[in-house]
């Protein structure tokens, strides 16, 4: 056999083995098929954040909301069709999740840079989340790749599977455990709230009905922005430094300065396991920088489609024809 034929033969065998044994995600998945994929994503994420620093937060959250609904499969990116109402208008996402346009821009750039449709939308979202974290001061980590894209999405699953800011600790933990994640993962991943903003709608009840669990100076600073009624969309930062990845989020929780009810649930001052974890990260910021990436990799590995499951979408908003 000629060399080229041997290579083709080996590649076919490798692909067959990978799909037979359930392919694993790998960091170098695109190193042969699109060597410039990762640098391209990084560049475009950087540009998007320069244009609007909040976009980094939005891209991190996009990955979370993708992964928590039937795994990290790009399902959140699908637009509604005549036959399917997707995840975009589900309660936790509607008017709230952002960054779809940035993913579109990256996808179309990659279709050019890779000379074809190579990089899955689910992988783009995972890499964009990591690049956002790094651009805003977090520690880098290797993103595992090789996810394939879903061909369906479900509004009901999005409504059921994403935790709400009105949950108490047991419900938050039950939700994370239903995704194979632990209390430790809950506390570290909630550190995602070191970035970004929430609308008044989601913290109004805490602001006016939980005054006993809220730092008075902090509460006073929020009142103006989030009145008892109206201004549902008014934004407040989730921690003191909403465009920097740091442990201020945990320090805020220890001072009764959590914006969301669900965040304050992680630190209630009674000395429980969650309290201890919050205290640990608040007092050892370097540990948060160290552990956040590992927790993101774990979240990013939730039931991916691999091998010949799903597809690589040409356009992240629609299933291939």
Question: What residue numbers does the annotated binding site cover?
Answer: 66, 69, 71, 73, 75, 87, 163, 193-194, 239, 241, 246
Choice from 34, 44, 57, 122 touching ligand HEM (CB under 6 A): 57
Choice from 43, 98, 275, 311 touching ligand HEM (CB under 6 A): 98
- Per-residue DSSP letters for 149-213? B-S---HHHHHHHS--TT--HHHHHHHHHHTT--HHHHHHHHGGGGB-EEEHHHHHHHHHH-GGG
Least distance in angstroms from the C-beta of 309 to ligand HEM: 25
Least distance in angstroms from the C-beta of 236 to ligand HEM: 9
Distance CA 58, CA 297 (A): 18
List the x/- string, 219-238, binding to ligand NAG by CB under 6 A.
Answer: ---------x----------
Q: What are the structure tokens assigned to 85, written together? A: 């109402």
Contacts with ligand NAG: how many residues (CB under 6 A)? Answer: 8
160 touches ligand NAG by CB under 6 A: no
Compute how many other C-beta atoms are within 10 angstroms of the C-beta atom of residue 244. 15
Sign of CA dihedral 145, 148, 154, 160: negative
Indicate if 65 belongs to the active site.
yes
Least distance in angstroms from the C-beta of 212 to ligand NAG: 13
Choice from 61, 204, 257, 313 touching ligand NAG (CB under 6 A): 204
| Terminal Cα distance for the chain, rounded | 37
Antiparallel, parallel or unpaired: β 197-199 and 235-237:
antiparallel
Least distance in angstroms from the C-beta of 210 to ligand HEM: 15
Beta carbons of 121 and 149 less than 8 angstroms apart: yes
Stretch that binds ligand HEM, among 78-86, 117-125, 186-194, 309-317 (CB under 6 A): 186-194
Q: Which of 65, 179, 184, 261 is catalytic?
A: 65
């Amino acid at each position: 056999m000629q060399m080229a034929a041997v290579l083709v033969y080996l590649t076919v065998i490798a692909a067959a083995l990978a799909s037979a044994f359930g392919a694993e995600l790998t960091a170098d998945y695109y190193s042969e098929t699109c060597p410039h994929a990762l640098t391209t994503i990084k560049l475009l994420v950087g540009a998007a954040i320069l244009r609007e620093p909040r976009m980094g937060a939005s891209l991190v959250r996009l990955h979370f909301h993708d992964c928590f609904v039937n795994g990290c499969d790009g399902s959140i990116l699908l637009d509604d069709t005549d036959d399917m109402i997707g995840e975009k208008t589900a309660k936790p996402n509607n008017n709230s999740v952002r960054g779809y346009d940035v993913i579109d821009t990256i996808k179309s750039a990659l279709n050019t840079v890779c000379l074809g449709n190579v990089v899955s939308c689910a992988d783009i979202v995972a890499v964009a989340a990591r690049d956002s974290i790094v651009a805003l001061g977090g520690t880098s980590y290797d993103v595992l790749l090789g996810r394939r894209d879903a061909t369906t999405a479900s509004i009901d699953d999005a409504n059921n599977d994403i935790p709400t800011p009105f949950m108490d600790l047991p419900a938050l933990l039950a939700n994370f455990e239903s995704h194979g994640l632990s209390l430790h993962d809950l506390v570290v991943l909630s550190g995602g709230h070191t970035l970004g903003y929430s609308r008044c709608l989601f913290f109004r009840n805490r602001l006016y009905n939980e005054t006993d669990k809220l730092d008075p100076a902090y509460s006073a600073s929020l009142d103006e922005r989030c009145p008892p009624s109206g201004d549902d969309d008014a934004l407040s930062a989730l921690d003191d430094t909403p465009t920097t990845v740091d442990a201020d989020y945990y320090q805020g929780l220890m001072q009764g300065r959590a914006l969301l009810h669900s965040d304050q649930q992680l630190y209630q001052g009674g000395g429980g396991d969650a309290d201890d974890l919050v205290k640990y990260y608040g007092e050892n910021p370097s540990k948060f920088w160290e552990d956040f990436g590992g927790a993101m990799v774990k979240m990013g590995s939730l039931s991916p489609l691999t091998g010949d499951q799903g597809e690589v979408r040409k356009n992240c908003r629609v299933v291939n024809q």
